[in-house]
Structure 1
Amino acid sequence: MSLTKRKLAELGVGVGLLALTAGLTVDVLSPPRKAGAEKARTVVTNAMLQAGRTDNRCARGRVALTFDDGPDIYTPQVLKVLRAYRVRATFFVMGRKAAARPDLIRAEVADGHLVENHSWSHPHLADLDQAQIDRELTTTQQAITAAGAPAPTLFRPPFGNTSAAVDGEAKLLGMRVIRWSIDTDDWRGREPGDIAASVLDQAVPGSVVLMHDGVRQSAATVQALPTVIRGLRERGFCTALATD
């Protein structure tokens, strides 16, 4: 990340934390949206839901599918695809979004997925003081359990940015820090075919795949998902939870 981009990111973090302290919520990941403009394109088709093989044999090993930054407007379509293919996945959710969309947290739990902690407002946690780190993690735990999910036992630091203080706080809250081994870069606006290829070209036993259900580009992730699942199973991998 360039110095200019990092400074802008840090500015966004500061604004987000000031808003959090004041009881407000600010999206530090994307520009403000006009009221009523937040709508998902319907990208799931009947052809996408024709799962073919739904058996989940682990001939070559397990691959964990994980989704960050939700729940958001494309989460219902991600859930629909996962349900058709009988896949259980791990959702690393933002606390402020969990508080805003508790129905989607409950839907994730009802389908057998894991709902885990991804901080309240997605800052660079290693740049924060101890009180701010505690607030980011603790308020997210509270939002997730208030929505009806079990208390998270996994924590994924935003940007993978962590420190001894962050890791220690996660441990105090009963969480293990987990990152990823395959980054699809789906948030960059990649085409569905490129997202799928990044997974299928790199998958090995024990891979943890990073995708996003909570960014503006998540429509492409939804479109790539059937190809990812079918391709992994054709190669002898089973889809698994991040703790399997």
Structure 2
Amino acid sequence: MKKDQMTPGRRALLRGAAVFGLAATAGCAGTAGSGAGAPDVSGSGIPSGAADGGVAAGGAPAARPLKASAYRLQPMAGSGPAGAPRTRPRVRKEPILRMDGQGRSMVLTFDDGPDPRYTPGILRTLRRYDVRAMFFVCGEMAVDNKDLLREMADDGHLIGNHTWTHPLLPKMSRSAMREEIERTCEVVEDAVGEPPAWFRAPYGAWNRNAFQLGADLGMEPLAWTVDTLDWTEPGTRTIIRRVRAGAGPGVVVLSHDAGGDRSQSVEALRTYLPELIDSGYRISLPSRYGI
């Protein structure tokens, strides 16, 4: 699929995505830990389980109704030895929402890319402040932008799996879901030499098969704590305000570097990132071990 095309079927998925929260049974590299329920601290009023509004390729996302969160997760303990041997994670029943906040650490994540129009700007800002982030990439975007994947890896960022076409996973058969996830693992491994260690379900819509397949492929499932809702293009100041309001130890921030006009997301990062650092936050990466 071309990057700036979207089929009617995917538009329909976007319109219906917000009605799906997390199905709580049964996730490509990580380790053991446990997940439970916690409030959405984004302050946005958008459900944590359905707020991932980006799309894998270009085109403006459809509007979503506001509704109560279908799942609420507890903070997770996290961080373990770097460079530990890669092991198969256990199958979780809920995604990881929050990292261990020891040392006032936070995690920045960017979904749906890479997009050559916006991802390079985000990478430049992260490089300027010597900060590492996580990029949950869609295979259909990554396959034509492997140079950006290599740039991410060279800069020390983590590349996660966000499926191939950004579908609504609970609507898919197990075999179709496996193809979506597996193909993206292969593209990432081909580009940077290793498969992704983390997985994020599009729209935050998980089910038993998503957790099982992710674990089978060696990935831990990661959700988020603060949703910037940047996919709605609310304005640079609003994105900055949401990050400021949600900042805290262990917070995982959700933003997007593709799926529409992400110039506001690029510009907002230039402001809130140095502010977070000046406030004493350490922007870091989650460990795959001891979560």
| Smaller-chain TM-score bracket | 0.7 to 0.9
Amino acid at match of 2:12: L
Q: Percent identity?
A: 36
Alignment partners' CA distance in 2, 1:187 and 1:114: 21
- Distance in 2 of aligned mates of 1:159 and 1:225: 22
Please list the CA deviations of residues 174-215 of structure 1 after superposition, one character each: whole Å capped at 9, or x if unmatched.
001110000000010111111011011111100000000112
2:249 is aligned with 1:205: yes
For residues 213 and 7 of structure 1, do their structure 2 counterparts lie closer, same or farther at Cα, with a shift above 3 Å needed?
Answer: closer
Deviation digits for residues 112-132 of structure 1 (CA, Å, limit 9, x no counterpart):
111110000000001101101
Partner in structure 2 of residue 85 of structure 1 = 129
Which residue in 2 is equivalent to 1:69? 112
How far is 1:217 from its partner? 2.5
Secondary structure of 1:100's match? coil
Whether the 8 Å contact between 2:152 and 2:158 is mirrored in structure 1 is yes
Candidates 162, 182, 204, aligned match of 1:160: 204
CA distance in 2, matches of 1:225, 1:10: 26
User: 2:267 is aligned with what amino acid?
Assistant: Q
State TM-score, norm by structure 2. 0.65
**Match of 1:215?**
259
**Structure 1 residues 151, 59: CA separation in 2 closer, same or farther (over 3 Å shift)?**
closer
Correspondence 1:142 to 2:174: no
Distance 1:214 1:27, change over 3 A: closer
**Corresponding position: 1:8 with 2:12:** yes
Q: Which has the larger radius of gyration?
A: 1
Assess, with a 3 A threshold, how the Cα gap between structure 1 residues 142 and 12 changes in structure 2: closer, same or farther: farther
Structure with the larger RCO, 1 or 2 (CA within 8 Å, 6+ apart) = 2
**Deviation per residue, 1:33-86 (Å, 9 max, x gap):** xxxxxxxxxxxxxxxxxxxxxxxxx99510101000000021111111111111
Mapped to 2, the partners of 1:195 and 1:117 lie a distance apart of 24
Equivalent residue, structure 2, for 1:30 = 59
Name the structure 2 match of 1:98: 142
- Which residue pairs with 1:176 in the alignment? 220
Q: CA deviation at 1:234?
A: 2.2
8 Å CA contact retained: 1:124, 1:158: yes
Contact in 2 for aligned 1:90/1:242 (Cα 8 Å): no
Question: May I ask how many residue pairs the two structures share in their alignment?
Answer: 202
Secondary structure of the residue aligned to 1:70 is coil
Q: CA, structure 1 residues 174+217, in 2 after alignment: closer, same or farther (shift >3 Å)?
A: same
SS at match of 2:192: coil
Q: How well do the aligned residues superpose, as a CA RMSD in angstroms?
A: 2.6
Alignment-mate amino acid for residue 143 of structure 2: A
Match of 1:213, as an amino acid? D
Change (3 A) 1:194 1:105: same
> CA, structure 1 residues 196+6, in 2 after alignment: closer, same or farther (shift >3 Å)?
same
Distance verdict in 2 for CA 1:28–1:82, change over 3 Å: closer
* Offset, 1:222: 0.7
Gaps of 5+ in 2: 1-8, 18-54, 61-100
SS at match of 2:237: helix
1:10 CA drift (Å): 7.0
Distance in 2 of aligned mates of 1:7 and 1:71: 20
Q: Is the 8 A contact 2:57 2:141 kept in 1?
A: no
Q: Distance in 1 between matches of 2:10 and 2:257?
A: 24
User: Residue 12 of structure 1: CA displacement?
Assistant: 9.9
**Closer/same/farther in 2, CA of residues 228 and 126 from structure 1, 3 Å limit:** same
SS of residue in 1 equivalent to 2:143: helix
CA spacing shift, 1:192–1:176, aligned 2, 3 Å? same
Task: Give the counterpart letter for 2:59 in structure 1.
Answer: S
Give unpaired runs (5+ residues) of structure 1. 14-25, 32-57
Higher helix proportion: 1
* 1:115-173 residue CA offsets vs partner (Å, 9 max, x unmatched): 11000000000110110110011000001111124211110000000101110000000
